Structure 1
């Protein structure tokens, strides 16, 4: 699988662990930064991950910030991105299976390296369900995204 990994400065150390783990599993991994602990903003990391997935350059991504919350919020602003902040392996694989999660978000300051590797392993090992009930729920999410996108465009047009 081709996977992108990105972080802000608070997630940099854990990102290094995740990169090595994924490469050890034989995945093709794209490091989208940051490349040191100099402060950077997590929305920029979320943008890099979203661009990689939406352009179909990668299949999935791992995104890391200090708590994982900010990166998760930012990533989910992109239509077509389904990011989940996970602290347990069930959520990491079930999010892919039932919800077609394409970004795993981790908190670099709140989980240990061993747990991060377990979560990443569950995430990349999971397969998207094609069951009708799951696909129906995803269609509802896509309808919400489309409606919100259209409403945003209307608001912008009225503001101009």
Structure 2
């Protein structure tokens, strides 16, 4: 997979995996823009998630990754930004399908929902899986209309 510019952000409950993902992405040659948080101290997640989605929506980053305890709230916040299609993924199949069928440009992960190795594998698959287009393109256009 070619190097990408990736925006990333988490709340306190996703902080540990965020740090591991950043290291993993940098080792793979990606440029990473970290929107925080910077510790596992309790924070309000919209403050860190919305900037990730906005960076992707405005083209400042090619993809985004957001993390929390479950990933649900983070996906909701990201999907409020026009032009964002954030997929909440919990295994490899969900990551593959959110890219192939939904052309997701932001990935949401829940640190409490999986082990770190699974999270890293999901990130790799999300970044390397192309959008299929075809019948799925018309559906994406309906979402954005």
Task: Note the residue ranges of structure 1 that are not aligned, 5 or more in a row.
Answer: 144-160
- State how 1:5-44 maps to structure 2 within 5 Å: 5-44=8-47
After TM superposition, the score normalised by the length of structure 2 is 0.93
- State how 1:1-160 maps to structure 2 within 5 Å: 1-131=4-134, 133-143=135-145
* Deviation of 1:129 (Å): 2.3
* Deviation of 1:85 (Å): 0.8
Aligned length: 142
Q: Distance in 2 between matches of 1:96 and 1:77?
A: 19
Q: Which runs of 4+ in 1 moved over 4 A?
A: none
After TM superposition, the score normalised by the length of structure 1 is 0.85
* Deviation of 1:93 (Å): 2.1
Deviations 1:54-77 (A, max 9, x none): 121101011001111111111111
SS in 1 for 2:108: strand
CA RMSD for the aligned pairs?
1.1
Bigger proportion of residues as helix: 1
- Name which one, 1 or 2, has greater alpha-carbon Rg: 1
Task: Note the residue ranges of structure 2 that are not aligned, 5 or more in a row.
Answer: none
